Structure 1
């Protein structure tokens, strides 16, 4: 499963089942509202300058009460301030942070989304049926620290890169593929949304889309193209990326799936037995093209 040119129907079926089970997904136009504004421009490699095609934030409204009251989101948000931003700076994990990691995994493992993912992985021989063993497997994939920068200590993990974001030498911005972190950082004025990235003139996203390709800066560092799910629950993202990671032994996996109306490539990079990065890459948001 190193690379998939056509739609992977089996994985699409599993992910659509998880999509239907994702009762914690936020509803566009009700639980949150986004303001797409203009189409983002080209950014040359190594540049930290981009035309701003969006004067207003991406998120014009999010139901904060709902965000903080749902169990998996509440535990997820507690993890977002547990990391050193820069690679090369060794992470110091406290007992409290270890407990927060475990409580988050406990919370998502109770959801039907993760139960579905677990059943599927057991059926493929990629996970043990015992939930405690599966939790340890998830912990190693997402939270076990490793060296991203060879010059420093254990400075990174899959969760930090994918869901929190990090910088390289203070000059390059990596990761941050999560909408909750994007929204919270935008509220703090750390994220500056620059506009959406469309595949072509016929493929413009709309405010109801749950997958977007975006351009933005984080603490002054540009992300020329960043892609993420919008509104989906933390458990859905963890489940989806976990499945793709565990089904493949390749260093880089690209698999094409159709989830709901969205045709996308799920990209997962392996860092030993842990996730290096993972994100969805939108191919088309126009249902008529699928």
Structure 2
């Protein structure tokens, strides 16, 4: 499986063992790699810049220093510039996940994904651009029956015809549609992918109940678009929407100039990664890693009747 990802340039000196440990906020110089915000733009960062300088490990109580990606001082909460794991790491309260934690987990999720279909799929990428749909032929050259044979993919297919792609059409839930949803949730929760995700979220304090109930709420609660109860996170991401590709395509006679998606992964892997990110890094980039490739997942929260639901989730490439 191959992944496209963003380009993050590292200074060649970083390969010689130079590290950001104890140097977060340091811009570096002609003989040392950098460990501050500017080094990412300049291509002069040390190799472990993001992993070290986005965490409070070994930095609890340090004074504020300009140029750091995030802070671990006592005032960071009031200034809203704390590293994500400051509470987990510095207060003894088990809530938090570092960039390293998320990347390590998502590699494990990919390794545990047995229901994907990537080996059976062949893409025809065709035109290249962002102004229009430049592909005259279908994206997939072949989709053999074996690619859709896994139990969770078959249950996903049964769900997809429950939704209207038109946001001006009100959605309702018939008893047979609820039964299909329940069967899908039961199936994905039996997978190792979801079990690993549930254990991680509970251990790190992002989940107090069971993951199945949280998935039902996050993904299947209907909310309003165009002032009509016409959408849900599941419909937007799975019914309207691995290897990762970024494509321009036509949807309901309108061209979407740029959209990204996994190809060949299982429904449970997509849902697990997106759920992980919307609970740990909502409304911003969430660092993940698959097959050694680092990239971000972008999520957007949809607020409805006091609940925070999935508004959107996609690979940011």
TM-score, normalization by structure 1: 0.71
Are 1:55 and 2:136 counterparts?
yes
Name the counterpart of 1:82: 162
Of 270, 274, 279, which aligns to 2:301?
270
The CA deviation at 1:265 is 1.5
Of 101, 104, 127, which aligns to 1:13?
104
The CA deviation at 1:65 is 3.8
Aligned 1:50-129 pairs, distance under 5 A:
50=132, 52-67=133-148, 69-128=149-208
**Cα pair distance change 1:56/1:89, threshold 3 Å:** closer
Q: Bigger relative contact order, structure 1 or 2, given CA contacts below 8 A and separation 6+?
A: 1
Equivalent residues of 2:233, 2:311 under 8 A apart? yes
Of 203, 208, 212, which aligns to 1:135?
212
3-state secondary structure, aligned to 1:258: strand
Runs of 4+ with >3 A deviation: 4-7
The CA deviation at 1:126 is 1.6
Of 261, 268, 275, which aligns to 1:235?
268
The CA deviation at 1:82 is 0.6
The CA deviation at 1:81 is 0.8
Structure 1: gaps (5+ residues): 43-49, 166-175, 177-208, 283-290
The CA deviation at 1:258 is 2.6
Name the counterpart of 1:34: 123
The CA deviation at 1:41 is 3.8
Are 1:162 and 2:237 counterparts?
yes
Name the counterpart of 2:115: 24
The CA deviation at 1:84 is 2.0
Distance in 2 between residues matched to 1:75 and 1:239, nearest whole Å: 16
Kindly provide the CA deviation profile for residues 124-146 of structure 1, in whole angstroms up to 9, marking residues without a partner as x: 11223x6xx32111100000111
Q: Could you say which structure has the larger radius of gyration?
A: 2
Kindly report the root-mean-square deviation, in angstroms, between the aligned alpha carbons of the 2 structures.
Answer: 1.9
Structure 2: gaps (5+ residues): 1-36, 41-49, 52-98
3-state secondary structure, aligned to 2:316: strand
Equivalent residues of 2:302, 2:311 under 8 A apart? yes
Kindly provide the CA deviation profile for residues 178-211 of structure 1, in whole angstroms up to 9, marking residues without a partner as x: xxxxxxxxxxxxxxxxxxxxxxxxxxxxxxx711
**Cα pair distance change 1:20/1:65, threshold 3 Å:** closer
3-state secondary structure, aligned to 1:90: coil
**Structure that is richer in strand per residue:** 1
**Cα pair distance change 1:239/1:21, threshold 3 Å:** same
The CA deviation at 1:245 is 1.1
3-state secondary structure, aligned to 2:181: helix
Equivalent residues of 1:211, 1:262 under 8 A apart? no
